[in-house]
Amino acid sequence: MSNTGIIFVVGVGRSGTSLLQSMLSAHPEITFLPETAFFRRYVARPLLLTTEQVRRHEIISNRLVNDEKIRRLNVDIADLARKASKSHKTPALAAYEELLKSEHRADLVYVGDKDPRLVEFIPFLFSHFPGAHVINIIRDPRDVLVSKKNAAWSAKNHVFRHTLATRVQERLATADPSIRCIKNYHEIHYENLIATPDAVLSELCSALGLPYSEEMLAYQDSASQLVSKDELSWKKETLGPLLTKNMNKWTSKLTLKEVALTEICVPTLSESRYQKSDSFHNLTIRDKAWVLVGGMLVCTAGSIYEVLRKVHFYIWKALKK
């Protein structure tokens, strides 16, 4: 890698990662890749660490040239694969680093990558890039549920699935106390970002060692370059004015059962980061049973998923050596 630093923006889906990405990318010394999920889909897959060693150039180029997300980028995929194939590093990691290098400019201090689900892979990120900055944006999980129910890619999913995803992603990001002790790990809250963006962004710039730039508040042009046409249906809000009051929608958009289920299952509510409601106590006996059984299923499935993700990390580390 060049001397340019790396920023990863992560967070539970529908927590404001696209907004934060656009704001940061509007800073004159930061640029962001459009969302490709490259690290998660390629670098963090343990099987690729071994199977790709045999035919490095062929496998890298074939995979990337057929990847619609990668084809969005303004890069020469053949040249990228050629350079990556000469590296002593694993092919996927080498290709990813070449991708980051392709964004380098003399005036840049940071190249950024945004993938909400990388919130599940924070140890992977710091293992590969110990000097990187990881910014986890946190939002009231009840409003996350409202947003997921409205987004085109997730509207048809059952509330149990939404709640499971939010639970495991929050827990994988914060359950290990050592993560929060890492100097370059940062947490910000979506509600603070939209209410006082200048204050939140100024503090974040300070943590990144950058001067604050008011250009970050005029992020719409940046967003238009990062959001593809097929993402507009659920990311169009990043192209408009800042929605300073886009919070607490759950009070009118969710049923009492959905609120109660979220409040039982999601850590940020258990830790009192957000105020719990009296929804569960106002339910009928039948609905309380639905919430308790659903909560038990979500928590059990979540525990299994968390174990599998941790096993994945240890296997990945062993194969990476």
Distance, CA of 107 to CA of 29 (rounded, Å):
6
Task: Pick the range with the lowest mean pLDDT from 3-7, 50-54, 275-279.
Answer: 50-54
Average pLDDT, the chain: 89
Report d(CA 241, CA 21) in Å as an integer: 15
Spatial separation of the C-alpha atoms in residues 321 and 319, rounded to whole Å: 6
Residue 45 inside a domain? The answer is no
Is residue 204 in some structural domain?
yes
- Please indicate, yes or no, if residue 280 is contained in any of the structural domains: no
Q: Is residue 210 part of a domain?
A: yes
130: containing domain: 5-33+103-161+173-247
Instruction: Supply the Cα-derived Rg of the chain in whole angstroms.
Output: 20
Rounded mean pLDDT, 99-105: 85
What pLDDT score was predicted for residue 192?
96
In a domain? residue 313 = no
Instruction: For residue range 16-50, list pLDDT tens digits in order.
Output: 999 999 999 999 999 999 999 999 998 887 655 45
d(CA 217, CA 201): 9
- For residues 253-272, give the mean pLDDT: 90
Residue 44 belongs to a domain: no
pTM, 2 dp: 0.93
* Residue 32 tokens, joined: 């962001």
Residue identified by tokens 């919130």 is 119
Q: Which residue has the higher pLDDT, 203 or 224?
A: 203
Instruction: Tell me if 176 sits within 8 A of 124, measured CB to CB.
Output: no
Q: What is the 3-state secondary structure (H, E, C) of the chain?
A: CCCCEEEEEECCCCCCHHHHHHHHHCCCCEEECCCCCHHHHHHCCHHHHHHCCCCHHHHHHHHHHCCHHHHCCCCCHHHHHHHHHCCCCCHHHHHHHHHHHCCCCCCCCEEEEECHHHHHCHHHHHHHCCCCEEEEEECCHHHHHHHHHHCCCCCCCCHHHHHHHHHHHHHHHHCCHHHHCCCCEEEEEHHHHHHCHHHHHHHHHHHHCCCCCHHHHCCHHHHHHHCCHHHHHHHHHHHCCCCCCCCCCHHHHCCHHHHHHHHHHCHHHHCCCCCCCCCHHHCCHHHHHHHHHHHHHHHHHHHHHHHHHHHHHHHHHHHHC
Q: What are the residues facing 133 on neighbouring strands?
A: 7
Angstrom distance (rounded) from CA 75 to CA 48: 22
**163 phi/psi in degrees, rounded to 5:** -65, -40
Which CATH number do you get for residue 190? 3.40.50.300
- 234 half-sphere exposure, CB direction, 13 A CA radius: 19
Mean pLDDT on 125-153: 93
Burial of 152 (0-12, 13-18, 19+ CB in 10 A): exposed
The answer to the question of residue 39 being in a domain is no
Q: Which residue type sits at 210?
A: L
- Give the per-residue pLDDT at 321: 63
Q: What total number of domains does the chain contain? A: 1
Give me the pLDDT at residue 184, please: 96
Q: Does residue 201 belong to any structural domain of this protein?
A: yes
* Distance in angstroms (rounded) separating the CA atoms of residues 302 and 170: 11
Length of the chain: 321
Q: What is the pLDDT of residues 34-43, one digit of tens each?
A: 999 999 998 8
Q: What are the structure tokens assigned to 272, written together?
A: 């009192």
Burial of 76 (0-12, 13-18, 19+ CB in 10 A): exposed
